Amino acid sequence: MTGAITRRSALAGAGALALLAAAPAMAAGAGRETLLATMRRATRFMTDRVATEGGYVWSYLPDMSRRWGEMEAKPTMIWVQDPGTAAMGHLFLDAWHATGEEQYYRAAEQVAGALVRGQHPSGGWHYFIDFGGDASARDWHETIGRQGRRLEEFRHYYGNATFDDGGTVESGKFLLRLYLARNDPTWRAPLDRVVDFVLDAQYPIGGWPQRFPIDRSYSNGGLPDYTANITFNDDVASNNIAFLMLVHQALGERRVLDSIRRGMGVFLLAQQGQPQPGWALQYTRELEPAGARTSEPPSLATHTTYACVQQLMQFYRWTGDSKYLARIPEAIAWLEKLQLPPERQLNGFTHPTFIEVGTDRALYLKESGSWTGDTRNEIVYEPKDGVSWVNRKLDLARLREGYRRLLALSRNEATRGSPLLARDRIPLPRYFVVREVRGSDLNIAEGDGRRAADVVAALNREGYWPTPLRATSNRWRPPAEAALLPPSRAADGRLLDARDTSPYITDTPAVGISTGTYINNMAVLIRALDDTARLDKKA
């Protein structure tokens, strides 16, 4: 699971801006050959100079002296969690579909090879793969992972796989696409293992745990281990259903249909009754709202409720069954009741995150301690200094309008294109990276409508797009040694204990290499190629 997500413009940074200023002619327009040449050069840099065994982390210093996924990584590690290795595989396949050039197909195969090497025997994936072996992965968890104050999911080496942040199912989607590209049997066996993993991990009631196979050996600060809980957080259930739907859609696999239906059904079962018809981040196997990390108390969650309403509308589009729409008005009305008063809707935030079961009171968390060894979270009812996970931005007008539009459609109109109701298999989309990759990368900011010509001009002489790496962290040191060092200061003014290895935002970033920037900029160029082709046809 991840905390607050911030994204940064892929074209920011002194190196990129200087290059833009030096190339006004290039920035004036980008023809097809220029687009293709830029894509080739940027891709060669990533495959030849950045990749580790065919895989990637999120960020690198130019001299490769440090690298990050969600936390600092060893040179032997690649990151599965978005926007990491699986996302790079999707981008390479998109580029291959756009250009037909073998360079991209070969790069996609290299990604697949890395993922298959790191696939857990159960069929899923951990957040990362360490080609240094099991001992190296354990060492990472016992050092960097254990001292990450904010990212509790990295403090313990479970030795199993996770559904969190979509890493497992994104890898599965990528293998599905690669298999379909040329029907190469090399990729069918690992793809089948992913499908088996998703099916095997599902509880009879329809939900999925956060991690699988279940391991209850860990207690985080004396709290029960939460990884066996039925999980809606970070779209675990939604992502798993969507993956199985693609498998059915593309391969006609009927064995996944029961799992899909039970998965959709658990959304109905997990919705609470009146007067709180919302959803929680996670549940016990008896469908009681449960806690997870120390920053996620047992409660109902407004953003999860919003996402579950959207999913129910999707389920109706797939099935035409009105049971998925029946209680949506209750959930929307409950969210309307929970809106913050206008004077507290600062910076566009509209709702508190956590809602106390039985009272509708907002829950906030008062943090204490300075690093993972002494951090605590106390539940309070008023937002004050030091309180985290305060508010969410929920567009209820958009949600209401989407529901109204869906109701206005006939059943046949609403279900047009449904993989469940279609007589024939439906091809997968040509492109999967159709909008900016978010993932959990703190170095990726919201896009700024950049033009393909600007992306072309921003590629530097070495072959990468310079990116200010605002997400950094303290280097790991033995706790006793690090305790003697002065604290670091985050961009928001917070002082950070030198023992804490969690990522934070700095206002003095190094400029380096970003996987997310590469993916997003390549997606811009691919769209521009398609636009150029359409213009050529009209001419």
What is the Cα–Cα distance from 319 to 492, expressed in whole angstroms?
47
Given a cut of 90, whether residue 437 has pLDDT beyond it is no
What is the Cα–Cα distance from 309 to 303, expressed in whole angstroms?
10
Q: What is the pLDDT of residues 190-232, one digit of tens each?
A: 999 999 999 999 999 999 999 999 998 888 777 778 999 999 9
Start-to-end Cα distance in the chain = 50
* Poorest-pLDDT segment among 111-115, 395-399, 431-435, 468-472: 431-435
**Residue 467 DSSP SS3:** strand
152 to 142, 220, 292, 293: CA distances (angstroms): 12, 8, 10, 7
Q: Mean pLDDT across the stretch 115-138?
A: 98
* Helices and strands counted in the chain (H then E): 17, 20
Q: What is the pLDDT of residues 287-315, one digit of tens each?
A: 999 999 988 999 999 999 999 999 999 99
pLDDT of residue 479: 95
| 524, 448 contact by CB (below 8 A) | no
Q: What is the pLDDT of residues 168-197, one digit of tens each?
A: 999 999 999 999 999 999 999 999 999 999
What is the Cα–Cα distance from 88 to 518, expressed in whole angstroms?
9
**What are the beta bridge partners of residue 445?**
8
Write the DSSP symbol of residue 339.
P
Q: What is the pLDDT of residues 73-85, one digit of tens each?
A: 999 999 999 999 9
Nearest alpha carbon to residue 10 among 52, 48, 58 = 58
Q: What is the pLDDT of residues 482-525, one digit of tens each?
A: 999 999 999 989 899 999 999 999 999 999 999 999 999 999 99
Write the DSSP symbol of residue 182.
H
Q: What is the mean pLDDT of the chain?
A: 91
Task: Quickly tell me which residue has 């009105």 as its tokens.
Answer: 322
pLDDT of residue 20: 33
pLDDT of residue 441: 86
Q: Mean pLDDT across the stretch 518-537?
A: 90
Given a cut of 50, whether residue 443 has pLDDT beyond it is yes
Q: Quick one: how far is CA 408 from the chain centroid?
A: 33
pLDDT of residue 496: 93
Given a cut of 50, whether residue 262 has pLDDT beyond it is yes
Q: Mean pLDDT across the stretch 28-47?
A: 91
| 489, 496 contact by CB (below 8 A) | yes
* Poorest-pLDDT segment among 30-34, 263-267, 334-338: 30-34
* Poorest-pLDDT segment among 93-97, 108-112, 220-224: 220-224
| 306, 335 contact by CB (below 8 A) | yes
Pairing of strands 67-68, 77-79: unpaired
What does the angle CA 156 – CA 126 – CA 519 come to, to the nearest 5 degrees?
A: 125
pLDDT of residue 86: 97
**What are the beta bridge partners of residue 364?**
380
* Poorest-pLDDT segment among 140-149, 150-159, 367-376, 466-475: 367-376
Q: Mean pLDDT across the stretch 32-61?
A: 98
pLDDT of residue 256: 98
What is the Cα–Cα distance from 43 to 40, expressed in whole angstroms?
5
Task: Quickly tell me which residue has 């002082």 as its tokens.
Answer: 495
| Omega before residue 213 within 30° of 0, cis | yes
What is the Cα–Cα distance from 499 to 512, expressed in whole angstroms?
24
pLDDT of residue 294: 87
486 to 473, 489, 496: CA distances (angstroms): 14, 10, 9
